[in-house]
Structure 1
Amino acid sequence: MMSFNPLRALALASAFLCVQAPAVAADGVALLKQFVARTHAAKGSFVQSIYRANGGRGEQSSGDFVFERPNRFRWHYREPYPQVLVGDGEKLWSYDPELAQVTVKRMGDALGSTPAAILAGNTDLDATFTLDDGGEANGLTWAVATPKATDSSFARMKLGFDGSRLVGMEIRDNFGQITILKFTAFETNPTIDPAVFTFTPPAGVDVVGDS
């Protein structure tokens, strides 16, 4: 089973762009803040790869996502193991079909200082993260976000921009494991059906948590 989801590493994101901006040089922090200010919703697809602390490569998965600020998102892992994460603005629903189980948490407890807080949270990044310019690497401009909370589920996150387009994220957890997200499609500010952000547990599954 997967050891990472977009909320612990995101979500929840997360996540995934077609923002139009002048082609001028900007550091990673400026690009990140521009992205957050201009992107109130998005949808697309992703590929996720996990690299263990010992250097070995772990599982690769793929799926699609949609989010709308604040705190509403659906992250759907399709391959190799189905999993659905839904944030409805108040609660986070995590559905694992193989286990026939749904876990429910309050959004404030679940989101916190996670990657999903950048993709689908509010716009006050400086209150939650220490932001630094990550420089240029692999043809991208990088921003580095370090959680201010001491109990965060990850140690550091890097976000890579091609111009104004967010194309990838690199998340290092507190045990040295690295999760890389590459966004293979990213549509900015689409019209989204609000029903996407509701979740009803399937009949017969166990529901655990704050339902």
Structure 2
Amino acid sequence: MSLARMLIVIVCLSYVSISWSDAHAEENAKAQLLELLAPYKQLSAQFQQVVVDRNGEQVQQLEGSLHAARPAKLYWETLAPDESVLVADGETIWYYNPFVEQVSIYSQQESLQQSPFLLLFDPTSPQWQNYSVEQDEGRYWIIGQDAAVGQRIAVQFNSQQQLSAVVVDDGQGQVSTISLTDIDSNITHADGFFQFTPPAGTFIDDQRGDRDAR
């Protein structure tokens, strides 16, 4: 075997070894993350959300509360002066802005393709196969198959391995850090809690692609 051919073989074998090692690390990170998320079958928490632009300048700060339950149900409410309500019932996402009296409706399945945020509250979902997980400086980054599309989410736990923060990178230079406090993972939500009925007079913007099929 010539020296040149031997070098090519060595480079190829090294690449295979690195690729296997990276894949193994990603699988381990995903398994660790899902294990840490497993206890959160239902939860409630207060949050503070700080949004910065690509230059690191703060552009927004919000406070509110969130409630979550499996599978992938969420009730997210921000307080004045930026009031809003987001409700995900497992099939549909409702985003209500009381200031403009409008609610936008989205398919939850389609939304998962753009953001893995709701997967945090459904660690048994088969949708996890569409995402890889990388561990970096104590954070677990959840990355879609096409990293150039949609959001990247990082999950952070405190020293007691309790969920403490979520970081959302929108891929356009804007990063939101959601710090959680007063977490209660023993709460039981009432039937119908994760449902939304628009107030009378609300303009409805239905963005679901299957409207004609209903």
Query: Do the two structures share a fold, i.e. TM-score over 0.5?
Result: yes
Which structure features the higher share of helix residues?
2
Contact 2:164 2:180 in 1 (8 A): yes
Q: Does 1:183 align with 2:180?
A: yes
Number of the residue aligned with 1:161:
157
Q: Which has the larger radius of gyration?
A: 2
**By how many angstroms is 1:184 displaced?**
1.5
Structure number with higher relative contact order (C-alpha < 8 Å, ≥ 6 residues apart): 1
Aligned residues: 179
Instruction: Give the secondary-structure state (helix, strand or coil) at the position aligned to 1:110.
Output: helix
Number of the residue aligned with 1:53:
54
Q: State how far apart, in whole Å, the 2-side matches of 1:164 and 1:30 are.
A: 15
Q: Deviations along 1:18-66, whole A, 9 cap, x unmatched?
A: xxxxxxxxx8655422122222111111000001012211110010011
Instruction: Give the secondary-structure state (helix, strand or coil) at the position aligned to 2:192.
Output: helix
Number of the residue aligned with 1:97:
98
Taking a change above 3 Å as real, the CA distance of residues 198 and 101 of structure 1, as seen in their structure-2 partners, is same
CA RMSD of aligned residues (A): 2.1
Instruction: Give the secondary-structure state (helix, strand or coil) at the position aligned to 1:34.
Output: helix
Number of the residue aligned with 2:80:
79
Q: State how far apart, in whole Å, the 2-side matches of 1:49 and 1:80 are.
A: 15
Q: State how far apart, in whole Å, the 1-side matches of 2:124 and 2:114 are.
A: 13
Which structure features the higher share of strand residues?
1
Instruction: Give the secondary-structure state (helix, strand or coil) at the position aligned to 1:195.
Output: coil
Contact 1:43 1:66 in 2 (8 A): yes
**By how many angstroms is 1:111 displaced?**
2.8
Indicate the percent of aligned positions where both proteins have the same amino acid. 25
Contact 2:74 2:118 in 1 (8 A): no
Contact 2:119 2:128 in 1 (8 A): no
Q: State how far apart, in whole Å, the 2-side matches of 1:94 and 1:122 are.
A: 23
When the two structures are superposed, what TM-score results if normalisation uses the length of structure 1?
Answer: 0.77
2:194 to 190, 193, 197: 197
Q: State how far apart, in whole Å, the 1-side matches of 2:183 and 2:149 are.
A: 27
Instruction: Give the secondary-structure state (helix, strand or coil) at the position aligned to 1:32.
Output: helix
State the AA in 2 paired with 1:128: N
